[in-house]
Structure 1
Amino acid sequence: MTSETPISVDVVSDVMCPWCYIGKRRLESALAQIPDVNVAVRWHPYQLDATLPKEGKDRQAYLTDKFGVERAKSFYETIRQAGLEEGIQFAFDDIKLSPNTLDCHRLILWSRADDLQDEVVERLFEVFFLEGGDLTKSETLVQVADDAGMQSDLVEQLLETDSDLEKTIQQIARAQELGVTGVPCFIIDGRFAIAGAEKSETLAAAIRHAEETRTNEPEAAEG
């Protein structure tokens, strides 16, 4: 492994998780703090609630069932404040449906081939959390693909099939097998895991540590 090999940051996340959006912003801030470190970010799927139907569930009913009315208000006010600190103006009141995010994760998977994962993930977060968009609708995902620069006509065709559905489910199961129980989870250089939307300074320090410990490993003896 050469010094030119980038430090991998594998982000396990779910599109319907507001802390994952906050975590993305904090990761971006972390990378800005260490511009000399070569980093490759990859996004991996997770589902906070795989029991949600494909057509989604009324968001207020979902939150009430999951948290209770008062607890949900307190929980999301904390998130709203954390978002503002990162420049995110969550529009929770505009969200009508809590979606099953499997198709979103298929779209993110397909975007890797075009090196557009970051753009697709960002746009999915924007559509859901800032615009109150319906991520259960294929036309929403096709528009996200188009906005990000993907071949939206191909995405439209793929969404009508089960292409990579089983692969996505297996990737989620794999994350769980590795011990991921909540998101976001940042796996750095395949060696260090940071669970939760930690502060940017913490992420930057962990990435720097991964680079330094990898660089300082003795080279294998020849012969």
Structure 2
Amino acid sequence: MTDAIKIDVWSDIACPWCYIGKRNLEKGLAATSVDDDAPVVEVVYHSFELSPDTPVDFDGDESDYLSLHKGIARAQAEAMIARVTEVAAQADLHYRYDLLKHTNTVKAHELLHFAKEQGRQLELAERLMSAYFTEGRHLGRDDELVLLATDAGLDADAAREALRSRRFLDDVRADQAQAAAYGINGVPFFVIDGKYGVSGAQPAEAFTQIARQVWAEHLGASDPVAEPA
């Protein structure tokens, strides 16, 4: 049996391009499902904190954050937000920056590792990003994270214990160390089969092409070697 393509994705739930990249990846892979020999793909999300120094409760909107903490002029920040909102809409994502609550994301990353242990990581990644960018939920607070975990099919008590104990913090740091080893300094970043790196929120068609190309490599590698006559 041919091994699945492994796609490791470094992202931050507070990264607008990461959610766009996630949706484009899903659409790109879905397009391969009609192939006669459709690729088998395993997607795993890894932690990357864009702004680890962000307070849990930031007083201000996204423009305030970009101008005060990133040194970006407010007019430029507002233009950036408008642009990414437009691109998100093209991916059928409806960002609500008027509701968004900027916060520290380390606990959300810890919860994603807990969800991975429980086999629900993809469901939680989607729930967290949707909650952050389209619903204005506060993802820096344990109670809110636990509610979102239950939405993704996880046990509330177990999720709360995972957050309280901080037992997945080392996994978050290990992901960040691996990102540094790969030279990743921006997200989203996709590593395919540990060999190919793809940076940024590529169009869905690009992911379709990549999946087909790498799957053809897998199929070629799995062909039996002919016995000599």
- For normalisation by structure 1, the TM-score amounts to 0.92
Cα shift readout 1:70-110 (whole Å, capped 9, x = no counterpart): 111111111011111111110011113x2111110111111
Residue 57 of structure 1 and its aligned partner are, at CA, apart by 5.4
Identify the residue that residue 32 of structure 2 maps to in structure 1: 34
Of 124, 130, 133 in structure 2, the residue corresponding to residue 126 of structure 1 is 130
Q: Distance in 2 between matches of 1:166 and 1:115?
A: 19
Residue matched to 2:47: 45
Distance 2:48 2:97 in 1: 21
Partners of 1:205 and 1:57 in 2: CA distance: 43
Asked if 2 retains the 8 angstrom alpha-carbon contact of 1:127 and 1:133, the reply is yes
Partner of 2:148: 144
Residue aligned with 2:132, SS: helix
Unaligned runs of 5+ in 2: none
1:213 maps to: 217
Q: Is the 8 A contact 1:14 1:47 kept in 2?
A: yes
Secondary structure of 2:98's aligned partner? helix
CA gap 1:170/1:113 in 2 versus in 1, 3 angstroms: closer
CA deviation profile, 1:105-163 (whole Å, cap 9, x unmatched): 11111111222111101110111101111111101100011000001111112211221
Q: Conserved in 1, the CA contact under 8 Å of 2:111 and 2:162?
A: no
Aligned CA RMSD, in angstroms, stands at 1.8
User: In structure 1, what is the Cα distance between the partners aligned to 2:25 and 2:187?
Assistant: 14
Do residues 95 (structure 1) and 100 (structure 2) align?
Answer: yes
Answering whether residue 169 of structure 2 is matched by residue 165 of structure 1, we say: yes
The percentage of aligned residue pairs carrying the same residue is 31
Counterpart-to-counterpart distance in 2, 1:167 and 1:8:
19
* Alignment pair present for 1:188 and 2:186: no
TM-score between the two structures when normalised by the length of structure 2 = 0.90
The equivalent position to 1:84 in structure 2, one of 82, 89, 93, is: 89
Q: What is the distance in 2 between the residues matched to 1:93 and 1:175?
A: 32
Amino acid corresponding to residue 100 of structure 1 in structure 2: N
Residues in 1 aligned to 2:117 and 2:170: alpha-carbon distance in whole angstroms: 18
Q: CA deviation at 1:196?
A: 0.1
SS at structure 2 position matched to 1:41: strand
The offset of 1:174, in angstroms, is 1.5
In structure 2, what residue type is equivalent to 1:111? Answer: A
> Deviation at 1:165?
1.1
Contact 1:56–1:136 under 8 Å retained in 2: no
How many residue pairs get matched?
219
**What are the Cα deviations for residues 167-206 of structure 1, in whole angstroms up to 9, with x where unaligned?**
3122212212211111111111221111000001111111
Match of 2:79 in 1: 74
Task: Tell me, yes or no, if the aligned pair for 1:57 and 1:99 is still in contact at 8 Å.
Answer: no
Contact 2:13 2:128 survives alignment (8 Å): yes
The reply on whether 1:64 has 2:67 as its aligned counterpart is: yes
- CA–CA distance in 2 between the matches of 1:203 and 1:89? 22
Shift of 1:219: 6.0
Cα gap change, 1:166/1:58 in structure 2, threshold over 3 Å: closer, same or farther? farther
Find 1:199's aligned residue among 203, 209, 213.
203
Which amino acid in 1 is paired with 2:104? N
Q: Distance in 1 between matches of 2:194 and 2:75?
A: 40
